[in-house]
Amino acid sequence: MNKVTTLNQFIIEQQAHVPQATGGFSGLLHHVGIAAKKVNREVNKAGLVDILGRAGVENIQGEDQQKLDVYANETFIGELKASGECCAVASEENQDIIVFDEGLSRDGKYIFCMDPLDGSSNIDVNVSIGTIFSVYRRKSPLGEVAKLDDFLQKGCKQVAAGYVIYGSSTMLVYTAGNGVNGFTLDPSIGEFCLSHPDIKTPEDGTIYSINEGNYEKFPVGVKKYIKYCQETDKKTDRPYTSRYIGSLVADFHRNLLKGGIFIYPETKTHPNGKLRLLYECNPIAFIAEQAGGVASDGERRILELMPESIHQRIPFYVGSKNMMRKITEFLKFFNNI
């Protein structure tokens, strides 16, 4: 029988390679796994129980909140608090950071950024959705109350990043800066099991993912790149195909495994793009780079950007190395004329 490595076993084995590790980080990830399983359970029964529909409130971005968003947010916050390793959380669903200023958590070494349920407009049509997260060491001294400044760190400072995709099967994919590993939830034993060790993304891809409904509003370099992908060239036999779910985790996950590029550029109506630097772009960029891919805002490496606020938006280009090189050439050329 094949040996199955569960997420918890894997975390403990990884910890053994870090002599100074105290187990705090492993404890935190363990609780992330528990939260993911709880959210998975609710997402799975979304069609069965009266949990679908709007919660009747808008989140701070002015978007309708779905009930599952609220559930996922509260569940992750609850587990992070219970871990005692995390002193504060920034969530897409909360205007301000959430500070744990009592008990063990106040001394927690880590801060956590998350989009608890990304792509939530897809919930009621049974399309894959996801949780995206990112872990940093706090900047403020242990024992003090964490503050906003703890969150204003470049993405290259991430200790770990990951996502959970609630799809045809549920997977947790994460990196702690030493490669990317994917775990599939085995519902029969309720454990995430290592199914995709050391994920590497293809250097060349064939998929481009972008909301072409916004075509008229795109920068000219992006328009030209899309046309380049669409053109048939008899000599080179360009192989591109378009795939767009409208759920970042699902679009990125497919491209990560198969090779491709995901683009959410600045548009005339959204000059800073739509996606958020702290809890969407940075974690995805960290995973992409760890898998051999590239992530930028069209010019600069995402992981080098210094955030100014927790809900900051940024144009996002991420994917296979050679596709990223090509689009960067297009952007550079057409921005300069």
Q: Is 262 helix (H, G, I), strand (E, B) or coil?
A: strand
Instruction: Give 134-185 as a DSSP string.
Output: EEEE-SSPTTSPP-GGGG---GGG-SEEEEEEESSSEEEEEESSS-EEEEEE
Rule CB under 5 A: say whether 69 interacts with Mg ion. Answer: no
Rule CB under 6 A: say whether 105 interacts with ligand AHM. Answer: no
Residue 232: CB atoms within 10 A of its CB come to 8
Helices 24-44 and 7-16, packing angle to 10 deg: 160
Stretch that binds Mg ion, among 21-29, 79-87, 112-120, 160-168 (CB under 5 A): 112-120
Rule CB under 6 A: say whether 274 interacts with ligand AHM. Answer: yes
Quick check: 297 and 305 in contact, CB under 8 A? yes
Pick the binder of ligand AHM from 248, 281, 302, 323 (CB under 6 A).
248
162 binds, among ligand AHM, Mg ion, none (CB under 5 to 8 A by kind): none
Q: What DSSP element (H or E) covers 328?
A: helix 321-335
Close Cβ partners of 13 (under 8 Å, ≥ 6 residues apart)? 5
174/252 with CB nearer Mg ion: 252
Q: Long-range contacts for 44-49 (Cβ within 8 Å, ≥24 apart)?
A: 44/166, 46/123, 46/124, 47/126
Instruction: Calculate the alpha carbon distances from 102 to 105, 112, 145, 150, 256 in Å.
Output: 6, 17, 9, 17, 40
Q: What is the footprint of ligand AHM within residues 51-90 (CB under 6 A)?
A: 63
Quick check: 217 and 269 in contact, CB under 8 A? yes
Q: What is the footprint of ligand AHM within residues 110-169 (CB under 6 A)?
A: 115, 118-120
Q: Which amino acid is at 61?
A: Q
Distance CA 57, CA 69 (A): 11
Q: What is the footprint of Mg ion within residues 15-44 (CB under 5 A)?
A: none
- 328: nearest Cα among 307, 302, 292, 291: 302
294/318 with CB nearer ligand AHM: 318
247 binds, among ligand AHM, Mg ion, none (CB under 5 to 8 A by kind): ligand AHM
Minimum gap (Å) between residue 210 Cβ and ligand AHM: 8
Instruction: Calculate the alpha carbon distances from 115 to 54, 155, 187, 245 in Å.
Output: 18, 15, 24, 18
69/191 with CB nearer Mg ion: 69
Minimum gap (Å) between residue 35 Cβ and ligand AHM: 18
Rule CB under 5 A: say whether 297 interacts with Mg ion. Answer: no
Pick the binder of Mg ion from 79, 93, 115, 251 (CB under 5 A).
115
240/244 with CB nearer Mg ion: 244
Pick the binder of Mg ion from 118, 251, 266, 297 (CB under 5 A).
118
Minimum gap (Å) between residue 217 Cβ and ligand AHM: 11
Rule CB under 6 A: say whether 211 interacts with ligand AHM. Answer: yes
67/138 with CB nearer Mg ion: 67
Q: Residues in contact with Mg ion, total (CB under 5 A)?
A: 2
Pick the binder of ligand AHM from 247, 255, 282, 290 (CB under 6 A).
247
Class of residue 50 by CB neighbours under 10 A (exposed 0-12, middle 13-18, buried 19+): exposed
Stretch that binds Mg ion, among 98-106, 116-124, 186-194, 256-264 (CB under 5 A): 116-124
Positions in the binding site for ligand AHM (CB under 6 A) = 63, 92, 115, 118-120, 211, 246-248, 264, 274
Positions in the binding site for Mg ion (CB under 5 A) = 115, 118
